[in-house]
Amino acid sequence: MQKRKMGNILFLCCWMILLSVKAAAEEEYITYKDPNKPLNKRIKDLMKRMTLEEKIGQMIQIDRTKATPDVLKKYYIGSLLSGGGSVPKKEATAEDWIDMINGFQKGSLSTRLGIPMIYGIDAVHGNNNVYKATIFPHNVALGVTRDPQLIKKIGAATALEARATGIPYVFAPCLAVCRDPRWGRCCESYSEDPNIVRSMTEMVPGLQGDIPSNGRLGVPFVANKEKVAACAKHYVGDGGTVKGINENNTIIDRHGLLSIHMAGYYSSIIKGVATVMVSFSSWNGVRMHGNKELVTGFLKGTLRFRGFVISDWAGIDKLTYPWHTNYTYSILEGVNAGIDMVMLPYNYTEFIDGLTHLVNNNFVSMTRIDDAVKRILRVKFQMGLFENPLADYSLTKHLGSPEHRELAREAVRRSLVLLKNGANADEPVLPLPKKATSILVAGTHANNMGYQCGGWTITWQGLSGNITIGTTILSAIESTVDPETKVVYKENPDSEFVKSNNFSYAIVVVGETPYAEGSGDSLNLTIPAPGPDIMTTVCASVKCVVVLVTGRPVVIQPYLAQIDALVAAWLPGTEGQGVADVLFGDYGFTGKLARTWFKTVDQLPMNVGDSHYDPLFPFGFGLTTEPVKA
């Protein structure tokens, strides 16, 4: 009897232990953390657990300089970014970047719900903030190729180099249709032609991966840990402002806006672009950061965009003038317009206090907050950030890899446009002979990696000099010519020097100095001194090839008669060997202008199809050469 009683007690104890273990297991199971659950169920489960404070935190993006792991933990910050030139340290390695980003991420993961932050960066021609990264030609050059598959490969390479530094989110591609080269961001635009811009949206699947055959079109998609979330920008009309003034007003009717400036967004959304960035500019006087009709009504409603909408840098501040003078109003207008994530990038406590007040007083609805957070979480879940929040050191090998540099070199070759080649077709100057007694290489841009790459390289505005690893055009020439050919480099030679050395020919490389955004706005579009004098001096005394390194067409007509051959090299990036490959005939010239080359700035704006169209070189122009057989 005693044994039976003891057995019953033992059985009951075991049963209670099993029940408590089962209950503990059930308590530990959390739907949003289960990757096997449907995406919408994970989002719904997580959102019902979130407080208003946690939701507002997800809507915030701040610069890394204002972040610490404790800040991310305390304020539930949803995203960090590196602005132009915002780096862990000078010449930081891929490992330095990963260490920094993982350190921040651990702060996010230590929060109550463990929602990972997403780290973004401007990767507009490669992972361009990062030392030793492959710097591809700027978009103004890539449009010349008219090759969507090449652009897709560049997107894939850029994604790998971003992931090599632990970055899962890039602010690219720029889908601006630049209609006036006086705009300082024209170098970021593929073309004045919306059809070319639309075709270049293959950058999106390059960055993010192809939507599988059984996948849903138009839903944010990031394939795996070697891909990144992309950002179509700047929505919308940024390339059409009056006189090309950055952040200015685009005056155009609705049909023109939708047919010209919206072109790239239609196809990007179908291809699953994860995010869209709003433009600083206005449409017919209404700031895009406050344009509810176009952000909520058209983008989210008509186009059924399901990713998240992000502001530009301090974009909502500019809804008032002077900027930031009524910040509560700016928050109200920006968030109610449909902006989901706000690139603040500094004043996060002010934003939190302001938006919390607006919600608590019914100026911003919880429906609007929930829409924003749902979109942000959708992207984070879809790209696997909850399963793999920490960066992978095994990908560091891809930064500046030989394969990517070879791809960039190909892009340079195919983006060069030959504008003049001798006095007539029977006496071409190009391709140049590799074997000559001596040749002169001159010009401000022949041996300057920073100038060759342009803005958005290492820093926001770009720099002069040996700023990263690559091949200058001078080095490329020296390695291409016959070993017995003497190459003489003099940046700014005088007339006597040119005449007395009896050069076989000269290559003059001049162009614009680096710039980004409004700093690049130019009403005259002249080549900075001493570029014009170098061209005039050299070309007056010896057969000369002028290579222009610019982010757009510039004034060249006054010098054209004196120049024997003229090449538009745009902003080629780190792989200057691609220029020499074509100058010396290893490959032929194939590029065709994706922008109209004007005669004088008085003609601007002037685009193909305009009634006053009278260009120096028309849209689609480009002479060709055949490769020289070895």
Q: Which phi and psi (to 5°) does residue 546 adopt?
A: -100, 125
Residue in 378, 398, 191, 391 with CA at minimum distance from that of residue 273: 378
Residue in 583, 503, 508 with CA at minimum distance from that of residue 541: 503
Residue in 154, 95, 148, 131 with CA at minimum distance from that of residue 404: 154
Among 333, 517, 521, 564, the one annotated catalytic: 517
Among 54, 312, 512, 575, the one annotated catalytic: 312
- Burial bucket for residue 86 (CB in 10 Å: 0-12, 13-18, 19+): middle
Q: Which phi and psi (to 5°) does residue 566 adopt?
A: -130, 130
Q: What angle do CA 133, 134, 138 make, to 5 degrees?
A: 120
Q: Which helix (H) or strand (E) holds 80?
A: strand 79-82
Q: What angle do CA 628, 625, 148 make, to 5 degrees?
A: 110
Burial track 568-605 (b if 16+ CB lie within 10 A, e otherwise): bbbbbbbbbbbbbbbbbbbbbbbbbbbbbbbbebeebb
Helices (H) and strands (E) in the chain, counts: 22, 17
**Which residue bears the tokens 């590196």?**
82
529 C-beta neighbours (distance < 10 Å), count: 11
Residue in 577, 592, 491 with CA at minimum distance from that of residue 538: 491
512 is known as an active-site residue: no
Cis bond leading into 137, ω under 30°?
no
Task: Name, in order, each residue with C-beta under 8 angstroms of 368's C-beta and a sequence gap of 6 or more.
Answer: 335, 336
Q: What angle do CA 583, 476, 572 make, to 5 degrees?
A: 75
Tell me how far apart the alpha carbons of residues 114 and 102 are, in angstroms, rounded to a whole number: 14
Q: Which helix (H) or strand (E) holds 368?
A: helix 366-382
Q: How many CA atoms lie within 13 A of 521 on its CB side?
A: 12
Tell me how far apart the alpha carbons of residues 130 and 153 are, in angstroms, rounded to a whole number: 20
Compute CA distances 270 → 109, 273, 279, whole Å.
32, 8, 20
517 is known as an active-site residue: yes
Which amino acid, 344? L
Residue in 166, 176, 198 with CA at minimum distance from that of residue 270: 198
Q: Please give the sequence-ordered ranges of beta strands (E in DSSP) within 164-274, or none if there are none.
A: 169-170, 231-235, 249-250
- The single-letter DSSP state of residue 610 is -
Q: Please give the sequence-ordered ranges of beta strands (E in DSSP) within 499-616, or none if there are none.
A: 505-511, 544-549, 565-568
> In 91-224, which residue ranges form alpha helices assigned H by DSSP?
94-109, 139-145, 148-163, 194-199, 203-208
The set of catalytic residues is 312, 517
